[in-house]
Amino acid sequence: MSQGTGGGRIGRRGLLLATTGALAGGGAMSSAASSAPGPLPTTTREAAGFRPDLAEQLEAGLRSGALRDLHGVVLARKGQIVLERYLSGPDDAWGRKLGVVQFGPEVLHDLRSVTKSLVGLLYGIALAQGRVPAPEAPLFAQFPEHADLVAATPARAAITMAHVLGMTMGTQWRESGVPYTDPTNDEIAMEMAPDRVRYVLERPVVEGPGQRWVYSGGAVALLGVLIERGTGKDLHAFAQEVLFGPLGITASEWARGRDGRASAASGARLRPADLLRIGLMVLAGGRSGDTQVVPAGWVQALLQPRVEAFDGVRYGWLWYAGPIGTPALPGRQNWVAGFGNGGQRMWLVPAADLALVSVSGAYDTPDQWVTPVKLFREIVMANLIRA
C-alpha cells in the first residue's frame, strides 16, 4: 500500500494471475446474489443541510477532469440518501480485466482494501460469539503448530491480537512502497508461499510490538484464518450470515487466493449502496433498525485512533481516522474510513452523521488518492452548510 494513497495493490493481481491462474474462469470468486434489498430512504440536498447545487458541483468536477476515474458515488446523511451517481469506465475484478463497465445501482465493485475494515467488523461479531481470541490474547497461542518460531525467537511471545488488529506487530513486512509486480513484496510472497500463515508468522522481529504501524495484508490474513477456524465457516459465508444478511445485502462476491481461501485483505465485492449500508450501521454504533449487528463496544474499539499511520492520518483497528473541516460544524471533526486501491473509499463523519462511499478505477496509479480526497473534502464536506 502506498502511504500517499491509503490502499495500493500495485500490479499484485496481474502477477498472481500470470503465475498461478488463480482466478482463471472466475473459479476463485465466491458469489451470492438474489433480489435487490429494499431501497434506502432519500432526501433533498437542502433538507440534508447541503448547498442546493451539490450535484451540479459534482458534475462540474467530472467535466473539468478534477475527478478522474470515478465509477460511482453514494452519499447519505442522517440515514437518508442525498446523492447517488454512477458513471462508466474500465474496471477490474481483483485484477481480471472487465473492459468498460456501465455502473449502476446493481453493479458490484471491488472494495480492495476496504475489505480489511469489513474483516474488523466480522472479527468483533465472532468475538462476541466466543469464536476468536480477545485482543489481549497472545498471537502465537492461537497457532500452536508454529510454536517453534517462538522457541527460536522468544520476543515473538509478546505479540498480541491487538497488535495484529492494529498492524503494529513489530515484525518485518515489506509491502507499502514496494511494487506488487516485485516478488519481494511480502504480500506477493505470502500468496506464493506453501503456507501463508507460517510465512506471516516467521517474519523477523525488528522492534517491540505496538511501537510502529506497518501496513500488512499478512496481519489481516491471520485474522481471516482465525475467523474461519473459530466459526467453522468460510469467511464469505460468515459475512453473508452475520453482516450482509442482517443489513439486507443480497449480492456479494469474495475473491480467493491460490490456496482457495477468501482474501481477507482485499477480496470483497459489493454494490456501492450496500457498502453505504455498512457505513450507516457503523455510524449507528453497530445497530441497524432493531438489530445489533456488531457489538457497540467493538465498533468503538475499531474506530479509536491508536497509532500514526502517514501524513497526519491515524489508524485504529483496521480503520483509518483523521480530521476534517466543514462550514456546518465548528472546528475540526473526526472522520473514520476504509481505504482501498484504485480510489475505493468509505468515509464516515460521526459528528455530522454522514456517510460517503466512492468507487473508482484508478488501480495501481500513484495519484489514485486524489479523486476520493477531492470528492470528500471539496465537494461533500465543503458544501455541508447546516448541522
Question: Tell me, what's the pLDDT at 293?
Answer: 98
Predicted confidence (pLDDT) per residue in 48-100, tens digit: 999 999 999 999 999 999 999 999 999 999 999 999 999 999 999 988 999 99
> By mean pLDDT, which of 2-6, 214-218, 335-339 is the weakest?
2-6
Q: Say what the pTM is.
A: 0.92
Predicted confidence (pLDDT) per residue in 292-303, tens digit: 999 999 999 999
Predicted confidence (pLDDT) per residue in 183-195, tens digit: 899 988 998 899 9
User: Please, what is the average pLDDT of the chain?
Assistant: 91
For residues 280 and 35, which has the higher predicted lDDT (pLDDT)?
280
Helix (H) or strand (E) holding 275: helix 272-283
**pLDDT at 10 exceeding the cut of 80:** no
Q: Please state, in angstroms and rounded to a whole number, the distance separating the CA atoms of residues 158 and 343.
A: 35
In CATH terms, 12-383 corresponds, of 3.10.440.10, 3.40.50.150, 3.10.330.20, 3.40.710.10, to 3.40.710.10
**Where exactly are the structural domains of the chain?**
12-383
Predicted confidence (pLDDT) per residue in 260-312, tens digit: 999 999 999 999 999 999 999 999 999 999 999 999 999 999 999 999 999 99
Question: Tell me, what's the pLDDT at 104?
Answer: 98
Rounded to a whole number of angstroms, the distance between the first and last alpha carbons of the chain is 35
Q: List the grid coordinates of 278.
A: 455498512
Measure Cα distances from 1 to 48, 79, 274, 342, 373 in Å.
Answer: 35, 31, 25, 11, 16
Q: What is the DSSP string of 6-31?
A: TS--TTHHHHHHHHH-TTGGGTTEEE
**pLDDT at 385 exceeding the cut of 70:** yes
Q: How confident is the model at residue 26 (pLDDT cuts 50, 70, 90)?
A: very low
Q: Three-class SS of residue 355?
A: strand
Helix ranges (H only) for 42-185 are 54-64, 114-128, 147-152, 161-165
**pLDDT at 29 exceeding the cut of 80:** no
